[in-house]
Chains A and B, each alone.
Chain A
């Protein structure tokens, strides 16, 4: 394919856009809404219903997205339906979205699309997008105002034709223990030019076990200043120029919006396309990517961060709900026993019955549910028409439409019950299991590499044990059946999906349940070890024993010993250097000492330079400081004091730059840790 074709396509796109630059301003804003996430994280639920129609606080997710688009001033939305497209289209046709004034919703349907990239290519072929558009997926909840971001985008576009995309980001600190954001997504590293807000680097799959990330040294060479963030959250709301669509068409291997498209653009320096960021502060934006974010976003909605898209405001034809004290939302026609206790931050749907002595807290109960007496529901999501018989216990689970739980059944945290599953009497569903009426698919589809779900290993063992309703004989007590094969108890209907080997460990990360204490303790211990490792050994082995090739790895991956050696060498150099600083040893003596170390460990002089520089930086970071500028000042002081030491190991100026580039990565990380 060649750059020629690329350029031609880009030129035509540009021509189409720049036909009338003044017209752009007047052009109605368009949006592309992907009603398919092209992942399998919500399985088994998404086998029966598309993700965008799953209820989020009793309103299908797509309504939040559409309501926001409408409020943000978008005039035309193209809803791209793929999986279960019929359900999505039927839903939209019966909803009020087709009859809104000044807001048109059009559906585009396709069945053989397996990625966002394909979807955008198809939309490009249809030639319906004429100007800047908002690219969003149908599972995004937001209440931000688009005007400012849009304005910025247009102004940038006017100045620089290569500014094709503005990405909306939001501050959100990732947990230092689990290295994931509160939405359950992986910690995200972004390098942003603080002046122009240009995105320079994007990495959401950083290897935490190693504790390092690698920046291209050209980044540091080319940009006068870079700020590296790990406390930003990608909202998955993009304002794109029409060129984006043609870019997808040109690069037919782009599948994933972030992994391929964004990273592709950042790496590709031939065309020079640029991506910018817009940070929102007070308004809310989040995408529901996994069960954890489903839980978190639901709670944010209940706590009204998404105002006006909250249950008691009828933003999309939802039922009237009243907000009572302590964040309790109750629809009309609820039958509640006097002795039932409904706690704070709970939503109860219309026509639900709650029996005596039941306790409900931090949960969302759908419409028409029947809850027996002495039931305990905590932090759970019950969808419509669920029947919970007496004495059941539910903690941090998702229960889909039409599920029946027989008396005394217990759901452990993290369980997901798909549509119409029946759980037998006194059956205990183990934690993190997923139960569906459908069997787990044995073979993955051809689009396996597109499924970014946890099961990367792909070794899925087929295990589907059915406890059908007709097996109602006496010997089917739960113990005997458990001993034999895990059924769903007496009268239970459904299959427990097995969790594949690799996924089991990670299951808690994305589950609806909060992270268990022991996991946290385990992780923080591991982290303490890690940090020690990081400080001792910046090329530490990842726990999996896998070596990720990076600029440093090539030296050390032929044998373990040299790696260990380099660790000790660095430690020695650091100790030497620190002693030198404390005792004011002359530079020449330090050079001598380090040289002897170099000889005894059989290192190159570049290694020495690296180690010395590393020790210097560490000293700088450790020196007490209150602000970033002070830190910078400290660093500069130390470098000027000890530059002779550094220079003695660096023969050429080029090499010097190289070392500084390599090591400043770590320093970036350190300053992040320090801050």
Chain B
């Protein structure tokens, strides 16, 4: 346990001091941290899922508070919580199924079910999500005492199970943890490979001799454009430089290194150039539940320009960027103000910043927000690692990845539960 605590503290420090840049790196490191937390967590005899959820929530709460602007942290914490719930559900439903079946007929079926769930827990979880739930509702109506407790609190479910099948217990606890870690590994794998998965779809979207506009720099966009280039598509890219950090310059450099015809423009020139553009492809910082996008500053301008000229506005986002919260939620911190020194040299303007005379407050204020909010109506298409989606479909995608109980990651909520 102490070494996980050290790991957690280390990661918390990095988050607090804004040392990790980019949602993908943050998401991957969060998932890895939670994996080690889960593997270190001692699982009690009963209610393993509850214990794991509590442990993850306790740490998740700290992580989210450490850098509330980086929504990917919260997303991953919720994803892991969802995984635990799903695995637990699949195991209990399997066990209940086995119980019911054994009560009805023979043992063979039971073994079969168990084997199934060990083989592909995620598949069963997915199945449980779509198919097993309605039947469990049915069973809930039919035989109340046993299965009514199952979906409500896993503890009572575990207890009732413990009474009936204590021999199966130890194997089940190991299996749950094992399954959860397996699923988290898959999640990490997904995060790592999200660029490739998104990039695979590039040829379907980028056509011959098209002009693509992008703003700032995004690794996803870069890979996406490369993938299209590799498939022998020839197209041109306009890169808006992305003031004040000018990461567009870096993107342009990398694009040119890969032999793409690139034009660098200022952010303010976007409107002038948009009429020549066939498609706008940009990265995002986060995608909210309503399909709104939090993206580097200046994106709303680009989106409005695209709408004005009816140019498709395509947002690339790995599934770790899908945030189950709505942007009007007061807990969501949409923006971060960065240092004004990115805009202007402090030394040059030090005389404007003189508080020593007059009313004591300077006449010049410098505001440097990091992000923009692009409303869902301006977005034409989302491309995630699970395919292309309409903004209005986002809520459905989010329901697949997150469970509604975890939207508020706070232990108080768990205590109430």
Binding site for B on A (CB under 8 A): 67, 71, 99-101, 143, 170-173, 175, 178, 180, 182, 184, 281-284, 292, 295-296, 299-300, 303-308, 313-315, 320, 322-323, 327, 345, 361-362, 378-379, 396, 513-515, 520
Contacts and interface: CB of A to CB of B under 8 A. Distances in A.
B283 to A, nearest CB: 23
Contacts of A296: 355-356
Contact of B347 (A171, A175, A396): A171
Nearest to A300: B353
A313 B365 contact: no
Contacts of A322: 333
A180 B337 CA distance: 31
B17 A67 contact: yes
A182 B356 contact: yes
B346 A182 contact: no
Contacts of A71: 17, 19
Interface stretch (B8-16, B181-189, B301-309): B8-16
17 contacts: A99-B9, A100-B13, A171-B347, A182-B354, A182-B355, A281-B345, A281-B346, A282-B345, A303-B366, A304-B337, A307-B338, A307-B341, A308-B17, A314-B66, A362-B361, A513-B360, A515-B357
B358 interface: yes
Interface string B360-394: 11100110100000000000000000000000000
Contacts of B345: 171, 281-282
A315 B16 CA distance: 6
Interface in B309-354: 333, 337-342, 345-348, 350-351, 353-354
Given A172-B347, A514-B358, A520-B357, 17 more contacts: A99-B9, A100-B13, A101-B9, A171-B345, A171-B347, A173-B351, A178-B356, A182-B350, A281-B347, A282-B341, A295-B360, A300-B353, A303-B353, A307-B339, A308-B17, A320-B65, A362-B360
A514 B338 contact: no
A620 B362 CA distance: 37
A306 B366 CA distance: 13
B219 interface: no
Contacts of B66: 314
Interface in B261-308: none
B6 interface: yes
A282 B346 contact: yes
B329 to A, nearest CB: 14
B339 A143 contact: yes
A101 B359 CA distance: 45
B18 interface: yes
Interface string B201-214: 00000000000000
A101 B356 CA distance: 41
B131 to A, nearest CB: 43
Nearest to A314: B16
A292 B341 CA distance: 22
A316 to B, nearest CB: 9
A362 B13 CA distance: 30
A306 B353 CA distance: 14
A514 B337 CA distance: 27
Contact of B357 (A313, A378, A514): A514
Name which of B338, B339, B353, B354 has the most chain A CB atoms within 10 A of its CB: B339
Contacts of B359: 379, 514
B356 A304 contact: no
A281 B350 CA distance: 11
A231 to B, nearest CB: 8
B61 to A, nearest CB: 12
A374 to B, nearest CB: 21
A89 to B, nearest CB: 23
Contact of A101 (B10, B342, B353): B10
Contacts of B360: 295, 362, 378-379, 396, 513-514
Nearest to B337: A304
A170 B356 contact: no
Nearest to A176: B351
Contacts of B356: 175, 178, 180, 182, 184, 292, 296, 514-515
A305 B357 contact: no
B66 to A, nearest CB: 7
A323 B18 contact: no
A99 B361 CA distance: 39
Contacts of A300: 353
Complex A-B, nearest 3 residue pairs according to Cβ-Cβ distance, in ascending order = A171-B347, A307-B339, A514-B360
A282 B342 contact: yes
Contacts of B347: 170-172, 281
A597 B175 CA distance: 108
A283 B345 CA distance: 8
A22 B17 CA distance: 31
B213 to A, nearest CB: 29
B348 A171 contact: yes
Nearest to A181: B350
B340 A514 contact: no
Nearest to A295: B355
A172 B342 CA distance: 17
A596 B380 CA distance: 90
A284 B6 contact: no
Question: Which of B341, B348, B365 has the most chain A CB within a 10 Å cutoff?
Answer: B341
A99 B381 CA distance: 47
B339 A306 contact: yes
A610 B1 CA distance: 81
A173 B350 contact: yes
B73 to A, nearest CB: 14
A392 B18 CA distance: 40
B341 to A, nearest CB: 4
Nearest to B359: A514
A577 to B, nearest CB: 35
Nearest to B6: A101
B367 to A, nearest CB: 8
A379 to B, nearest CB: 4
A305 B361 contact: no
Contacts of A284: 339, 341, 346
A150 to B, nearest CB: 19
B16 to A, nearest CB: 5
Nearest to B354: A182
Contacts of B342: 282
